[in-house]
Chains A and B, each alone.
Chain A
Amino acid sequence: MNGLFGHVNQNNDSSEQDDHESDQSSVQHDIPAENQVSDVEAKKYSVGIDLGTTHCVLSYVELNEEVDEITQQVMMIPQLTSPGVVEDKKQLPSFLYLAHEAEIAEGSTTLPWTAKPDHLVGEIARNLGSKTAIRLVSSAKSWLCHAGVDCKEAILPSEAPEDVGRVSPFEATIAYLQHMKAAWENQYPQSPLDQQDLIITVPASFDPAARELTAEAARSSGLGHALLLEEPQSALYSWIDNSLGDWRNHVNVGDVILVIDVGGGTTDLSLIAVTEQEGNLELTRVAVGDHILLGGDNMDLALAYTIKAKMEKESGNRLEAWQVQALMHACRDAKEKIFNNPEEEAVALVVPSRGSSLIGGTLRTELTREEVNQVLVEGFLPEVAANDRPISRPRSGLRTKGLPYAQDAGITRHLAGFLAKQQSATEDLEHVNLPENATFLHPTAVLLNGGVLKSEVIANRLLKVLNSWLQAEQAPEARLLEGADLDLAVAKGAAYYGVVRKGKGVRIKGGTAASYYVGVESAMPAIPGMLPEVEALCIAPFGMEEGTSETLPEDEFGLVIGEPVRFRFFASNTRRDDTVGMRLDYWTDEELQELDEIEITLPEEGRKAGEVVPVHLSAAVTEVGTLELHAVSQQDDHRWKIEFDVRAGEGEE
């Protein structure tokens, strides 16, 4: 049997030099016949992992040469839901619980693949953490993109007392990946995950350091072959996949698709233009938004605090923290009831007592439609004008240890800011024409993603506000692209992207979502009391494609052997025309965002410490999708890697 397969594959290998074909044959050759269960052969899959802020999802597609039909399957992930109880769920909540040794009975954390997991992740972590917040690690992903902390330092939970053993955001990410890897290998022992095509999604707004950390977490989990894909792109791939080939009838050349992805913890915006090349439709991701820490969890929390204030006013008693927690859960369900039943004016909310006496101690109140509209619709999606901008107060002098949550909860204001900032994003595309008088980029179609936007009231409000801006500039209304699967689209789209990479579908072009700069001191006489002026030197242009590199030809730096050298590092998601080697001596805060410093240390390696080596900088985008910076010696072309994640020390100001 096996010999026969080997023979067939050899034929294929010689006739068609297809990557996939040879991959498949190598998989089959690697597995000795004895280990195979009778006629079950090792199948090859394209696997997509949505590594979300609040939930992870794994979807997969069997890569089959003959069948063109793509069948998406979402893996049921076995996970503990409470001590001693294992359930299969489509989503793995991205939470990690650091249990005290006295808290968990022996043998009650068994998973199908291990008797005692290193960390409690998934539903059990969220459940235990709802009562013991000091041991709960949440939103690890948002920390990865948090300037000023070292993501490999054990800093989570940030509010934990001294004797709770902490973990780093990086370790937490590895724990989620390893759980999903083990779940996969438990289900498909014949097809180990490290031999499948694997795509992991990241927010489009992730900076190079956060992308690198994600890729590194995958490597540490034994999934070094994983590629990164931006979540809004993945959502669009999923929509294309769902349309079963019909998507070409729903978009036209010249369309600008706005992808709005409101997840549990973040809001991610992208613009994708539809163009034409030799009669074929092409998709190009032309812009991505800033990293906005604002999502569905903020909404539930806002409702809970509104109700808390109301209950305290009615009863005169203060609610305790656990009651607010319970309220938040109750609000989550109640708001969906209100959204889904247009005639429902109010839904009863109850907060059960914690003791065994249920009847006496249970609190009751109501959540009314008006409150939901006031808090969620008006609070998060206010009807603003196109020229409104998110309010940003300067951060208070003391930087807290927490995450930099968005200060303005108005998603519509963030959207207005994004569209205005990206007004010139489509300038270079011949098929997209923006009217002369436009004050912001006019999207013609909208794709929604994320659980929050499942509610029609919220989705409709978002569209209404956007269309009011378009109407004001006499532009046609943007239409909603229907048929998206809001909860699972990102994972499904990632798995589909694996198929697209085999040449079976249209691929979104994009490259890097920003141009990158290092800060260099300008050559001017020193003035006492003034810091020397800094110029931004472009080292990587906008839209660099995967697998390409750029070298800085003329400018050279003298690096001292053995001494760490730091550069200030900047990114711009609007300056599309800067080329490598350009120096900016002036820029606005809007244009260039300062990222964390980057660092390079030249090891001695046969040179003398203190020796100065002339180098120039080189930037490359890897196949994985991460940015890599190198210092290249002028003398012998020796290369040293420049590290991104040198955030330690920044937070200790």
Chain B
Amino acid sequence: MKNYSIDLSLMPTTLDLWHVYLIAAVLVLALILIIVLLSMVIGMARKAKHLPAEIVKTVEVAAEPEIKIVEKVVEVEKIIQAPAPEPIVLKESTPDAALQLLGLLQKEARFIDFIKEDIAAYNDADIGVAARVVHEGCNKVINEYFTLDRVRQDKEGSKVTLAKGFDAAEVRLTGNIVGQAPFTGTLIHKGWKVTNIRLPKLTTGHNASIVAAAEVEL
């Protein structure tokens, strides 16, 4: 039987296969240890950074219940309203206003019919007859749904003086614009402004894009 004894002073003189394995294993384990340690340190560092944010979060959490209460009140009101019949909402004519105006001009003045027709084929007398329809109708629409006022009360062609700080949207300067206000010039066009619009209201079911319905007589 071979006797195994431990002699610490003994040093191997050559690298045998087993020792090579041993060294490789040690290196691999050391590497793993380093990676693990490193990742732990990085993780710790990140956690440390997040800490103030967490405090903020808890503050938010503390505030949230209050917000919820407010939301609940709103919901309660909605529930109360629910049994009542759905309120009737007449669409304000803002988005459909252009279509609506077209529709009114067509209805009263046959505006689209007139514009869409090829007037080259007719003589001036025929066009004149139709123009009466258009003029009368447009006049009716403008007078009924808009209140118009002139911007400048002066007579066209007269001299006007614009004081400093005049409204550039109301008065447009043209020609020899130099120097500083007050400006003096000739009133070429008195200008128009709409002081009141009374467009009709539309029901929610109304399709404003039909500016003239097709007509079928039975």
Residues of B contacting A362 in the complex (Cβ-Cβ under 8 angstroms): 126, 129-130, 133
In contact, B132 and A359 (Cβ under 8 angstroms) = no
Does B171 lie at the interface of the complex (its beta carbon under 8 Å from any beta carbon of A)?
Answer: no
**B203 in the interface, Cβ–Cβ < 8 Å?**
yes
A457 touches B (CB below 8 Å): no
Question: Does B4 reach chain A (CB closer than 8 Å)?
Answer: no
Q: Does B204 contact A (CB under 8 A)?
A: yes
Listed stretches A60-68, A106-114, A283-291, A535-543; interface member: A106-114
The reply to whether B206 and A83 contact each other, CB–CB distance below 8 Å, is yes
Instruction: Please judge, given known A-B contacts A85-B206, A86-B201, A107-B203, whether A348 and B132 are in contact too, CB under 8 Å.
Output: yes
Q: Identify the closest chain B residue to A100 (Cβ).
A: B218
The distance in angstroms between the C-alpha atoms of A111 and B88, with both chains bound, is 8
Tell me the count of chain A residues lying within 8 A, CB to CB, of chain B: 32
Question: Which residue of chain A has the shortest Cβ distance to B206 in the bound complex?
Answer: A84
The tally of residues in B whose CB lies under 8 Å from a CB in A reads: 30
Binds B, one of A349-357, A421-429, A436-444: A349-357
Shortest beta-carbon distance from B203 to chain A in Å:
4
A358 touches B113 (CB 8 A): yes
Q: Which residues of A contact B203 (CB under 8 A)?
A: 84-86, 107-110
Identity of the chain B residue whose Cβ is nearest the Cβ of A356 in the assembled complex: B113
Instruction: Give complex CA distance A360, B133 in Å.
Output: 13
Question: A111 to chain B: which residues have CB within 8 Å?
Answer: 88
- Kindly report which residue of chain B lies nearest to residue A114, judged by CB atoms: B88
Q: Say if the beta carbon of B200 comes within 8 Å of chain A.
A: yes
- How close is A352's CB to chain B, nearest CB, in angstroms? 5
Encoded as 1 (CB less than 8 Å from any A CB) or 0, chain B from 145 to 167 comes to: 00000000000000000000000
Q: Does A364 contact B (CB under 8 A)?
A: yes
Give chain B residues whose Cβ lies under 8 Å from the Cβ of A364.
Answer: 129, 132
Report Cα–Cα, A5/B134, bound state, in Å.
59
Set A78, A113, A352, A359: member contacting B126, Cβ < 8 A: A359
A563 at the interface (CB under 8 A from B): no
Question: Does B202 contact A107, Cβ atoms closer than 8 Å?
Answer: no
Residue of A107, A354, A356 with highest tally of chain B CB at under 10 A = A356
Chain A 95-138 against B: per-residue CB contact (8 Å), 1 yes, 0 no? 00000000001111111111100000000000000000000000
CB contact between A359 and one of B114, B198, B200, B207 (< 8 Å): that residue: B114
Contact A359 B107 (CB under 8 A): no
Residue A456 CB within 8 A of the other chain: no
* B132→A85 contact, CB < 8 A: no
Binds A, one of B43-51, B56-64, B116-124: B116-124
Q: Which residues of chain A have C-beta atoms less than 8 A from B116's C-beta?
A: 356
Contact A112 B202 (CB under 8 A): no
Closest chain-B Cβ to A118's Cβ sits at a distance in Å of: 16
A-B contact pairs, 19 of them (CB 8 A): A78-B201, A83-B206, A84-B203, A84-B206, A85-B202, A85-B203, A86-B202, A88-B198, A106-B205, A110-B88, A112-B90, A333-B136, A350-B136, A352-B130, A354-B215, A357-B117, A358-B113, A359-B119, A364-B132
Q: A350-B129, A352-B130, A362-B126 are in contact. List 12 more A-B contacts (CB 8 A).
A: A84-B207, A107-B203, A107-B205, A109-B203, A112-B90, A350-B132, A354-B215, A358-B114, A359-B114, A359-B126, A359-B129, A364-B129
